[in-house]
Structure 1
């Protein structure tokens, strides 16, 4: 599942939870999807940080 599909499904479950409630299976799915999304965000952030190099300090 790509990131866009993941977000769409999380939003779909959220909307359903507010309108009519979720089954236990849907609650478990929502929890797993949220955790997966958080892991994706963490991994993307780590990748961005690993590409950053510190600037050299120049003494004036």
Structure 2
């Protein structure tokens, strides 16, 4: 994750946690429930994007040092100009 995305994720997590704490202590208003749902969706979207990017950048090698990265991942890497 880059610095901006990392900061954005931290802000999402902080707000989600604040709403969770408030929900346990006193409950949430209807607007806060909607906000919490929206924040969770944004968090999951960013998490999935980050995870997908990590997988697409990965190279896998067996014990003998031979690359065994799945063909699908290699094709994506070629398409993005990450490999020859």
TM-score (norm 1): 0.86
Task: Give the RMSD, CA atoms, in angstroms.
Answer: 1.5
Report runs of 4+ in structure 1 exceeding 4 Å deviation.
none
Structure 2 Cα separation of the partners of residues 41 and 5 of structure 1: 13
Q: Which has the higher contact order (CA 8 A, sep 6+)?
A: 1
Give the 5 Å matches for 1:1-60.
2-55=8-61, 56=67
Which residue of structure 1 aligns with residue 73 of structure 2? none
How many equivalent residue pairs?
57
Could you list the runs of 5+ residues in structure 2 that have no partner in the other structure? 1-6, 62-66, 69-84
